[in-house]
Structure 1
């Protein structure tokens, strides 16, 4: 039983709230029953489980190193206002190649909730890979992980230079779709190809000009009311499900 927030182990866990520590150690912290169960049922490596003294661990937890902690210790390492009593330390996975026929590329998505929701939707819509470009929030940010609802453990997500990936996709016969209001066609008027890379941009600035110039098609979503634009995660959902429905026929 760990009872003090000054315990060296607790200090290590608390440091994982910082990106530089997550990058240095190659691990990150997740919290909540659902996320820990999703990590356990995936091929990701759980190195430690942390639980409040009153939490009833499932039988499968016996295969991991487990630490019981007091309520105040658990609260000090977690980010949620009402923690569920279980957390885990998970080792990062390295994904080096994008495989499949449907890829989502994100150019500078900065809001953690947006990124997590987009990853969750990409998983639900059957996309194969999500690639995070420069300026995109850290995948292992606590709010991103929680917003994915476990989809981060079931979908290939990688970071990299979007320009390089676009070049590789074009050579492999992919169409490249970007999203912008300028010089764009309505997405419903464009035939969905079998091999497609969809690119969405920053919440305020959109897709960068240098990437827009490399697109095969630039698509937009019709606005029937007075709103000028949609939240990027909503736009991502509309487009990904349209693509999924079109390629499933």
Structure 2
């Protein structure tokens, strides 16, 4: 397999297109495309059925035939070789693996999400803003093999390069859907999910509730917590007892603790 084109100028139109997709959420939404960097991330995207439009690789860092051995790609994918200077211009990471792809986004409409297991286990995050927290949450969801990740009132688009990087590609390995808080509450009730909201008040110790049925754990931001709409619709509020001076933890850490308690109960049943 050979590259169909080689680029050595940073003024090339494709280079400008990559930079625009990398930096501008509006451009990603308008075109339905995003930028993906890294071998593992590319492999997970291909495995999950994402369509690769263009594959760019640095000819000084990676032989495209070696990449093909690692990640088989459709014959219709454009292969483009980049000089080292051009690759450094478009690469997002300080340390990199020599591959960048333009990829077609998938739909993440809540209406498209079909829960296939008999008693699915779901994590819901309301209004997460920091891409790093979203990425960490997706990594935890992958590690626990959760059935879905729902994001209520999203503040950033799912294909933000920071989310892809911090999730180490787990954004592709999990089923993710987005919607308003009201839409997600209605969806969970329609699917007869028990809703456990992480909250500081009127809460029960997180180890004392039952996660073995269809379950949704809902977490909010560290700064503001969950909205009243969630708390009013919770089957129960749950809390992680804190023994130090502060009363909250990073949202991705809290979610991990709650998720793996649920996994422990499910594995024991």
**Residue of structure 1 equivalent to 2:15:** 10
**Residue of structure 1 equivalent to 2:167:** 148
Alpha-carbon distance in 2 for matches of 1:148, 1:239: 19
Shift of residue 42, structure 1, vs aligned partner: 2.5
Alpha-carbon distance in 2 for matches of 1:229, 1:98: 33
Q: Could you tell me which runs of 5 or more consecutive residues in structure 1 were left unpaired when the two chains were aligned.
A: none
Alpha-carbon distance in 2 for matches of 1:61, 1:176: 41
Distance 1:38 1:108, change over 3 A: same
**Residue of structure 1 equivalent to 2:80:** 67
Shift of residue 61, structure 1, vs aligned partner: 4.8
Alpha-carbon distance in 2 for matches of 1:161, 1:218: 20
Q: Could you tell me which runs of 5 or more consecutive residues in structure 2 were left unpaired when the two chains were aligned.
A: 1-5
Alpha-carbon distance in 1 for matches of 2:153, 2:83: 40
RMSD of aligned Cα (Å): 1.6
Of residues 49, 52, 57, the one that matches 2:58 is: 52
Of residues 35, 42, 47, the one that matches 2:41 is: 35
Of residues 70, 83, 87, the one that matches 2:96 is: 83
**Structure 2 length-normalised TM:** 0.87
1:247 aligns with 2:263: no
**Residue of structure 2 equivalent to 1:21:** 27
CA deviation vs aligned residue, 1:106-155 (integer Å, no higher than 9, x gap)? 10111111100101111111211111111432211101011111222221
Of residues 212, 219, 225, the one that matches 1:200 is: 219
Q: Is this contact kept in 2: 1:107–1:136, CA < 8 A?
A: no
Alpha-carbon distance in 2 for matches of 1:71, 1:157: 35
The more displaced of 62-71 and 182-191 is 62-71
Of residues 226, 232, 237, the one that matches 2:251 is: 232
**Residue of structure 2 equivalent to 1:134:** 153
SS at match of 1:213: helix
